[in-house]
């Protein structure tokens, strides 16, 4: 029962079990709606708040609140190749708004690689996964959450011989765990051996898993995915592969396929591609578009010198018949395709054109966002003259509860 005098006094001291003391679950509801910076600061309020905040369940609740608030849809972009001016730009990630690429802030990558060319493996729930460039011998893999300024170097491989072929980074939502998959390929004499290991953040260790697919190692090879990171969609990681099989008449048959990895069950599967339609396909890349698995095919159309880009989307995950062609875009011969963002906008970067202004020739770079569903084109303000890693991004507290995490 509240007395008159207690009613008048402002809340200055700890009161237990009074009508105005908020229960824990409500405090958590409030904390879950705060931006990352505030949550981190409020760890200092008291011991119980500190332990609520570092609890993995709270971290995922907080993420869900952030995720549904569409004011916080971002992309992170980073140059992949040297610009003319300085090499140090490769260490800078820019945080920008998803729809307009308007810059919000910049983060400097807090770790370095031997080659000086960091490579983005994937982006998941606010964690970025980086490794060294394809040609490097370095096997270092890092997980980094720029919004809490914490990163972690993954422990060394558990495989006896490691020669990285492909990597993938995804989130196991059933176990609230982050995983990195590494497929290694070594050749001993004529024999190709492929081994797979999976890293789990919650156990902070790698473990060997079986590839478990029907073809012999020599029968398939991983395709280069253009400049795109391998997509994480519907709880699966995906890579493009080419399968070579000997046909009935001893001829070699080539077919392309998507290799998928279920991050929860840690099992591999094959996903078929839609029909080639006979057009001459130069290259195919697998990516994600508005949360669905997508395929981009570049090829030549009927008319000479005309390159076409067709975009397909798998409407129902895993269902072959659900491959749906969204559009076919005519692309200039010199187009540079960069990537997709969460709102399904394709970023195409044109190669520099010579533009005459005031009787002087200038190189002008144009970057546009194209919506493959509406074909609406938007020129964006960022002027870039190098390839970009583009990844969807959101602020989160992920990695706060991780082992051996370093703050910078």
- Does residue number 267 form part of the binding site for another protein (CB under 8 A)? no
- Does residue number 407 form part of the binding site for another protein (CB under 8 A)? yes
- Does residue number 29 form part of the binding site for another protein (CB under 8 A)? yes
**Nearest-angstrom CA–CA distance, 45 and 135:** 48
- Does residue number 358 form part of the binding site for another protein (CB under 8 A)? no
The nearest distance, CB 117 to another protein, in angstroms, is: 28
- Does residue number 68 form part of the binding site for another protein (CB under 8 A)? no
- Does residue number 33 form part of the binding site for another protein (CB under 8 A)? yes
92: left (phi over 0), alpha (psi -120 to 50) or beta: beta
**Nearest-angstrom CA–CA distance, 120 and 168:** 10
Say which residues have a Cβ less than 8 Å from residue 26's Cβ, sequence separation at least 6: none
The nearest distance, CB 46 to another protein, in angstroms, is: 5
Task: Name the segment binding another protein (CB under 8 A); options: 1-9, 108-116, 173-181, 297-305.
Answer: 1-9
Say which residues have a Cβ less than 8 Å from residue 288's Cβ, sequence separation at least 6: 231, 232, 233, 294, 340
Task: Name the segment binding another protein (CB under 8 A); options: 20-28, 91-99, 151-159, 242-250.
Answer: 20-28
The nearest distance, CB 177 to another protein, in angstroms, is: 24
* Touching another protein, residues 112-151 (CB under 8 A): 148-149
CB 157 within 8 A of CB 167: no
- For another protein, the closer of residues 109 and 294 by Cβ is 109
The nearest distance, CB 54 to another protein, in angstroms, is: 11
Residue that has been written with the tokens 């308007």 in this structure: 102
* Touching another protein, residues 34-53 (CB under 8 A): 34-35, 37-38, 40-47, 49-50
Residue (of 388, 306, 298) closest to 349 by Cα position: 388
356: left (phi over 0), alpha (psi -120 to 50) or beta: beta
Residue that has been written with the tokens 């490097």 in this structure: 136
The nearest distance, CB 304 to another protein, in angstroms, is: 51
CB 386 within 8 A of CB 81: yes
The nearest distance, CB 31 to another protein, in angstroms, is: 8
**Nearest-angstrom CA–CA distance, 270 and 236:** 11
How many residues sit close enough to another protein to count as binding (CB under 8 A)?
37
For another protein, the binding residues (CB under 8 A) are 1-2, 7, 10-15, 19-23, 26-27, 29-31, 33-35, 37-38, 40-47, 49-50, 148-149, 407
């Amino acid at each position: 029962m509240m007395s008159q005098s207690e009613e008048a006094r402002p809340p200055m001291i700890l009161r237990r079990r009074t009508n105005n003391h908020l229960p824990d679950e409500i405090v958590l509801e409030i904390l879950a709606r705060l931006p990352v910076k505030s949550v981190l600061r409020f760890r200092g309020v008291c011991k119980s708040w500190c332990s609520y905040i570092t609890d993995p369940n709270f971290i995922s609740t907080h993420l869900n609140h952030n995720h549904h608030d569409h004011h916080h849809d971002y992309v992170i972009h980073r140059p992949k190749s040297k610009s003319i001016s300085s090499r140090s730009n490769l260490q800078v990630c820019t945080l920008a708004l998803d729809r307009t690429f308007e810059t919000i802030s910049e983060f400097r990558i807090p770790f370095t690689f031997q080659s000086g060319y960091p490579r983005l493996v994937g982006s998941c729930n606010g964690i970025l996964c980086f490794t060294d460039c394809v040609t490097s011998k370095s096997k270092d893999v890092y997980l980094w959450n720029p919004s809490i300024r914490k990163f972690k170097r993954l422990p060394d491989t558990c495989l006896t011989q490691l020669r990285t072929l492909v990597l993938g980074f995804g989130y196991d939502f059933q176990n609230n765990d982050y995983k990195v998959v590494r497929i290694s390929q070594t050749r001993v004499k004529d024999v190709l051996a492929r081994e797979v290991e999976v890293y789990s953040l919650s156990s902070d260790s790698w473990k060997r898993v079986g590839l478990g697919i029907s073809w012999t190692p020599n029968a398939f090879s991983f395709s280069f995915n253009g400049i795109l990171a391998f997509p994480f969609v519907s709880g699966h990681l995906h890579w493009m592969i080419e399968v070579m099989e000997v046909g009935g008449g001893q001829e070699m048959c080539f077919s392309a396929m998507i290799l998928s990895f279920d991050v929860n069950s840690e099992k591999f599967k094959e996903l078929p591609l839609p029909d080639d339609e006979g057009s001459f396909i130069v290259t195919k890349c697998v990516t994600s578009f508005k949360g669905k698995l997508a395929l981009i095919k570049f090829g030549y159309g009927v008319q000479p010198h005309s390159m076409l880009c067709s975009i397909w989307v798998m409407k129902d995950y895993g269902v072959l018949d659900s491959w749906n062609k969204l559009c076919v875009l005519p692309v200039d011969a010199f187009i540079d395709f960069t990537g997709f963002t969460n709102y399904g906008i394709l970023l195409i970067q044109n190669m520099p054109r010579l533009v005459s202004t005031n009787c002087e020739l200038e190189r002008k770079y144009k970057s546009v966002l194209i919506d493959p569903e509406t074909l609406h084109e938007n020129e964006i303000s960022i002027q870039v003259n190098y390839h970009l890693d583009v990844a969807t991004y959101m602020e989160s507290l992920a990695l706060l509860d991780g082992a051996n995490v370093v703050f910078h």
